[in-house]
Amino acid sequence: MVGPAPRSIWYDSLKRLIRNRAAVMGAIILIILTGIAIFAPLIAPHPFDEGNFLHNYAAPSREFPLGADFLGRDLLSRLIYGTRISLTIGFLGAFFAFSIGLTYGTISGYFGGWIDGFLMRLVDILYAFPSLLFIILLMVTFKAGLGATVIRNPFVQTIAKLDTAFGGMLLIVVGISLTSWVGMARLTRGMALSLRESDFVHAAQALGARDIRVIWYHVVPNLIGPLLVRVTLAIPQFIATEAFLSFIGLGANPPTPSWGIMIAEGFKAMRSHPHLAIYPGLALAIVMFAFNFLGDGLRDAFDPRFN
């Protein structure tokens, strides 16, 4: 007697995900946006950083489909290049939050004892620090070109220079990564703690498997699903954080086409040219929308108990 082939939990989850129309829509939007980001130089009608004062605040036309900004730069092209910024921040933030959180939480939860005690005290302290405030403080300390202050410390200077070389993006990624892994680590640790006591882990240990093998083959695969959900739902926050920082002048440096900067710049001409602030805002909302839809679908797919 041969039963039906055993289906993996991943297969079931994927099937549930595909049935969720909103999640599929989110995924499709994200795929399209990723394509736009990769092929931006081919799609964009103009360079994102070349202005022409003849076209300052040009109205939408054949040459400038969405108009031009206060320096005569094509808005559509800047929006297109802006997907690169937002998606990069989103994915990099997710990568670091996921990998650091997974490693830290697994070690803490699996080994327990004084290791756990020590690692979790550290996390508790970091957790209490409001993350947005922390990122802002980081920016104030390291960002070049703020106020009239001269930075003399060579370490700070080096970082500030590196950051400038990356268009102001380096510190944003660092700030987001430094703060976002903490929640992931807590979640991972809790799950690892209960997995440690599960029968299949005990069985593996009884068979003489080394810790590293037990962790890699028996603990980690069970952590990835829930963590993936959590990380996907956190991506919109990373993207919003970047836009927020750029908006208040602590993020990307002009002329980097960050949507946050574009909103701030466009907003100065809100009365006469409201579309300059509204279009980048809509772009931002669409990306966050897509990630939220996908994350929501992933949660329903991985945790059928939820609905």
Partner 1 sequence: MLVFIAKRLLALVPVLIVISAITFLLMHSIPGSPFDQEEKPLPPEIRRNLEAFYNLNEPLYKQYLRYMGNALRGDLGPSYMQKNRSVNDIIVTHFPTSLKLGLFALVVAIIIGLPMGIVSALRQNTGWDYVAMFFAIAGVSVPAMTLGPLLIWGFALKLGVLPVARWGTWQHAVLPAFTLGIGHAAIIARLTRASMLQVIKEDYIRTARAKGLREQRIMIKHALRNALIPVITIIGPLFAALITGSMVVEQIFAIPGLGRFFVDSVGSRDYPVIMGTTLLFALLLVLSNLAVDISYSWIDPRIRLDES
Q: Which residues contact partner 1 by CB under 8 A?
A: 22, 125, 128-130, 132-134, 136-141, 146-153, 156, 236, 240, 243-244, 247-250, 260, 263-264, 266-267, 270-271, 274, 277-278, 281-282, 284-285, 288-289, 292-293, 296
> Nearest approach, Cβ of 143 to partner 1 (angstroms)?
10
Tokens 């839809």 -> residue: 293
Nearer to partner 1 (CB atom), residue 165 or residue 270: 270
**What per-residue string of b and e applies to 52-76 under the rule 16 or more CB within 10 Å gives b?**
eeebeebeeeeebebbbbebbbbbb
Element (H, E) at 209: none
Structure tokens at 138: 């980081």
Nearer to partner 1 (CB atom), residue 38 or residue 282: 282
Q: Angle, to 10 degrees, between the axis of helix 21-38 and the axis of helix 9-19?
A: 90
> Nearest approach, Cβ of 283 to partner 1 (angstroms)?
9
> Nearest approach, Cβ of 236 to partner 1 (angstroms)?
6
Nearer to partner 1 (CB atom), residue 15 or residue 268: 268
Nearer to partner 1 (CB atom), residue 111 or residue 267: 267
Helix (H) and strand (E) counts for the chain?
13, 0
Q: How far apart (Å, rounded) are the C-alpha atoms in residues 108 and 90?
A: 26
> Nearest approach, Cβ of 99 to partner 1 (angstroms)?
24
**What per-residue string of b and e applies to 122-154 under the rule 16 or more CB within 10 Å gives b?**
ebeebeeeebeeebbebbeebbbeeeeeebeee
> Nearest approach, Cβ of 165 to partner 1 (angstroms)?
20
> Nearest approach, Cβ of 270 to partner 1 (angstroms)?
6
Q: How far apart (Å, rounded) are the C-alpha atoms in residues 61 and 68?
A: 9
Nearer to partner 1 (CB atom), residue 11 or residue 129: 129
Nearer to partner 1 (CB atom), residue 38 or residue 248: 248
Question: Are 257 and 167 in contact, with CB atoms under 8 Å apart?
Answer: no
